[in-house]
Structure 1
């Protein structure tokens, strides 16, 4: 029987656990609630509604130590509303390997069987795996909960450990520049994206006469506040620009705090960027979609070439993390997401043996920021035969003040207007070369 927890943590159930419809809590009067609170030390004797988990009578044969332990655990039990199944339907495999009743297991052990939880497939180097005896409220949410329904602090937890960078390195991703550096072509592109002028919004919180008040308003505030007030003034919305008349951006789609559920995983953590941009299905012709279908599959399949089911070939992410040292967390999140983005383009080019064209070329961008600092990176592959490693190139880092306030905005607009069309054309040129009878087994996600 699976619990409903006060902290809304939903855990993945082991085989053998079945659940029925959750029991709705009965309505209680204020007087009855007061009586139930007093029952922490005594047992209700003459009320129509009994406590959910009554303590044993002092006259029972339960040893005194067990009574004391049960009192200590009462606050945990009262937070759980258990499904109204019969005993037989709540069977689970316990630690001993024998089938046991989940409710009775909890009453006896004051914890759930270790099979009730599923650990991440990758453990960050230097960190201990969570104990299987930890209470559900302390466990990291597992994949039974869609990633985009998890609280922000939960999804960013793996990235807070400095060892996550070592985990990325073990997968071929390095949060630094390659000794080979980016190509001269990419260096020129970065300068152009930084220097080309753009029209910025006239009436916004970045307006000259109110910008100092804006900075004061968001100073030392949390991510939700910063995202609400200024995130789209740092990284503008591609779809909003398209609605306002930027017709060339109608091929783009975006995601906001949405899990990349259609992407083949790199680590046990699935990317869930605060903001991401990629291509719509309509960016490609019907013939191109047919050529890609064997390696992409259906909307519920995973592949190298998709982020969400609506987003093909993502190329931009933005992460917001506030607090001392938290920008490094945003950098790790972006490095993870953009590795998947660059990897997808490389794997597409490998299908037609053109991957060498991408060596040291920037194929994606990321922006990390908080209430006062912004970092812009380009992400690129280093290709050596069948081996591909991934690096990032620092493009610009600046304090969010009057002189620099529109830097990231204009850079992003230039990515949309100048770099993106060329990137799409490059991708389409490869798709046009894919054989129409491409074998599904050629999809490298199976290797």
Structure 2
């Protein structure tokens, strides 16, 4: 039975409707899925010769500016990595190149890698030679780059120098209204009367004896030369042959001032008096008589006040030497290692006069204290310039103790052992000028 044309047409319509519905549903499903946007491949960046030259100069200058960071290198390094400097702007009026704005990123990454490499190299310990001395050596430039300060060894000399600076006098010294000799000599000498004062000096590093190693050969030769040199005998003095015995008898039971007046300058002649009589080589010396060493930095106990002392006046030094000494001498109200009084620099001779055998021991203690200060000043001066070995075991000062009959002569020196300084005395001569009819006078 054949199908009518009308039914065939209806079937074709239904088929088309179903097909259209399926296509519509298929399009709806595809619409629900997100679409990807594919970026076309980027063409190579075109660089002109001028742009390449500018970027190269910018990169080189930036590396040069950040080559030596300061002591805050960690902070600066992070900031440098996170915020690099912007590249120079290149103006091109002929054409616009948006892609060229991405150009600095390449250089930033490159510069960041170089900065990290340099900072890592800074943190690497300095590799020295295999020797121990080289291992302990510090490169001052590298130390300053890494740590921001110079090695401490360059300031050790300044520290040692600061210990030599002058110091202010005590309040009691400033309250004294008159010269130092107004204070009673007995009060000044009181601590020296006690034999234990010698023990106290030893605890401070000053010994009234010879050191085990002794003095240098040069100092021994000097002592012999001084003893063997013929001295000029003064004319018309109380030590004249026909007056000598009478003089010794008259001062036998007298006090110190009388002994000093009659025979003091015959035992220890006055340097200034000899200069007045024509000894031009002594014109630069200055002396004191019973004057306190108020300008000297104390060692222990009362300030020295020798019966006689000699040192150098300002004229003994050149202007350049005085200028170098000025920071260590200070003002009038300062004390110094290098001064005894306001006018005496580097005292080198003291004399103490007593009466009686036991009293000479007191004089020896007084001289030991005074000469400790004298030798200390010279040694400290040489230590300040790293030449202390030149005065090691060398006699630097002399002292004389005497009464109405006997004389004791000592030389004073120091032993320098690294930072430790000890003081000793060397007996040069001990004699009685009254014995053997005045042979040793």
Task: Name the counterpart of 1:284.
Answer: 317
Pairing 1:244–2:281 present: no
Task: Name the counterpart of 1:319.
Answer: 352
| Structure 1 residues 398 and 383, CA gap change in structure 2 (3 angstroms) | same
Structure-to-structure mapping, 1:401-420, within 5 angstroms: 401=434
Distance in 1, matches of 2:239 and 2:388, equals: 42
Task: Work out whether residues 296 and 336 of structure 2, in 8 Å CA contact, stay in contact via their aligned partners in 1.
Answer: yes
Task: Work out whether residues 234 and 406 of structure 1, in 8 Å CA contact, stay in contact via their aligned partners in 2.
Answer: no
Alpha-carbon shift at residue 406 of structure 1 (Å): 7.9
Question: Which residue, 181, 202, 206 being the options, matches 2:235?
Answer: 202
Task: Name the counterpart of 1:336.
Answer: 369
Alpha-carbon shift at residue 405 of structure 1 (Å): 5.1
Distance in 2, matches of 1:406 and 1:148, equals: 35
Structure-to-structure mapping, 1:31-430, within 5 angstroms: 143=173, 144-145=175-176, 147-401=180-434
Alpha-carbon shift at residue 274 of structure 1 (Å): 0.2
Distance in 1, matches of 2:254 and 2:362, equals: 17
- Provide the secondary structure at the position in 1 that maps to 2:358: coil
Distance in 1, matches of 2:357 and 2:229, equals: 33
Alpha-carbon shift at residue 147 of structure 1 (Å): 3.7
Residue by residue over 1:228-286, the C-alpha shift from the partner in whole angstroms, topping out at 9 and shown as x without a partner, is 10000000000000000000100000000000001000013100000000000110011
| Structure 1 residues 319 and 386, CA gap change in structure 2 (3 angstroms) | same
Which TM-score applies when normalising by structure 2? 0.59
Alpha-carbon shift at residue 404 of structure 1 (Å): 8.4
| Structure 1 residues 371 and 249, CA gap change in structure 2 (3 angstroms) | same
Residue by residue over 1:7-59, the C-alpha shift from the partner in whole angstroms, topping out at 9 and shown as x without a partner, is xxxxxxxxxxxxxxxxxxxxxxxxxxxxxxxxxxxxxxxxxxxxxxxxxxxxx
Distance in 2, matches of 1:261 and 1:198, equals: 34
Distance in 1, matches of 2:257 and 2:438, equals: 20
- Provide the secondary structure at the position in 2 that maps to 1:388: strand
Task: Work out whether residues 433 and 440 of structure 2, in 8 Å CA contact, stay in contact via their aligned partners in 1.
Answer: no
Distance in 2, matches of 1:404 and 1:292, equals: 49
Distance in 1, matches of 2:329 and 2:386, equals: 18
Which TM-score applies when normalising by structure 1? 0.58
Alpha-carbon shift at residue 403 of structure 1 (Å): 5.3
Point out the structure with the larger helix share.
Answer: 2
Could you tell me which runs of 5 or more consecutive residues in structure 1 were left unpaired when the two chains were aligned: 1-141, 409-447
Task: Work out whether residues 191 and 301 of structure 2, in 8 Å CA contact, stay in contact via their aligned partners in 1.
Answer: no
Distance in 2, matches of 1:148 and 1:183, equals: 37
Distance in 1, matches of 2:265 and 2:311, equals: 16
Aligned length: 267
Q: CA RMSD in A?
A: 1.5
Distance in 2, matches of 1:403 and 1:346, equals: 41
Task: Work out whether residues 254 and 275 of structure 1, in 8 Å CA contact, stay in contact via their aligned partners in 2.
Answer: yes
- Provide the secondary structure at the position in 2 that maps to 1:315: strand
Residue by residue over 1:102-159, the C-alpha shift from the partner in whole angstroms, topping out at 9 and shown as x without a partner, is xxxxxxxxxxxxxxxxxxxxxxxxxxxxxxxxxxxxxxxx754464211221211110
Alpha-carbon shift at residue 287 of structure 1 (Å): 1.0
Task: Work out whether residues 300 and 309 of structure 1, in 8 Å CA contact, stay in contact via their aligned partners in 2.
Answer: no
Which protein is bigger by CA-based radius of gyration?
A: 2
Could you tell me which runs of 5 or more consecutive residues in structure 2 were left unpaired when the two chains were aligned: 1-171
Structure ranking higher on relative contact order (CA contacts 8 Å, 6+ apart): 1
- Provide the secondary structure at the position in 1 that maps to 2:239: coil
| Structure 1 residues 305 and 404, CA gap change in structure 2 (3 angstroms) | farther
Distance in 2, matches of 1:302 and 1:355, equals: 22
- Provide the secondary structure at the position in 1 that maps to 2:378: helix
Task: Work out whether residues 329 and 336 of structure 2, in 8 Å CA contact, stay in contact via their aligned partners in 1.
Answer: yes
